[in-house]
């Protein structure tokens, strides 16, 4: 596995970082994501994508999804201590229905 950096678009001071590094492996000239990103929109573990890293800094500015993995990801920030038990039960139940 290798790492590659994605440049992130910051809007209203979010996300709190300008780049995110992720692990990948090569497959037929494309990339396959090997971990869960925090801030890269549209990618999750196992997705195959094509991209051309910037020749100056090596960061990826744009990518094209080649094949989805069937996985999805939802990050939720609960910084006001809401009761999320009902939401979590619904998410877990919907996963088991598949």
Is 5 buried (19+), middle (13-18) or exposed (0-12) by CB count in 10 A?
Answer: middle
The single-letter DSSP state of residue 7 is E
Q: Return the exposure string of 32-50: e unless at least 16 CB atoms fall within 10 Å of the residue's CB, then b.
A: bbeeebebbeebbbebbbe
**Helical spans, DSSP H, in the chain:** 85-96
As a whole number, the mean pLDDT across the chain is 90
Does pLDDT of 7 surpass 60?
Answer: yes
pLDDT of residue 97: 55
Query: Average of pLDDT values for 38-59?
Result: 94
CA distance 2 to 26: 9
pLDDT of residue 59: 96
């Amino acid at each position: 596995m290798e790492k590659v950096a994605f440049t992130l678009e910051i809007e209203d001071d979010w996300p709190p970082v300008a780049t995110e590094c992720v692990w990948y492996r090569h497959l037929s000239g494309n990339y396959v994501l090997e971990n869960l990103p925090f801030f890269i929109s549209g990618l999750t573990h196992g997705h195959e994508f094509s991209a051309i890293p910037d020749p100056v800094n090596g960061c990826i500015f744009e990518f094209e999804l080649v094949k989805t993995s069937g996985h999805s990801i939802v990050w939720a920030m609960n910084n006001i201590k809401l009761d999320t038990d009902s939401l979590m039960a619904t998410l877990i139940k919907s996963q088991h229905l598949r």
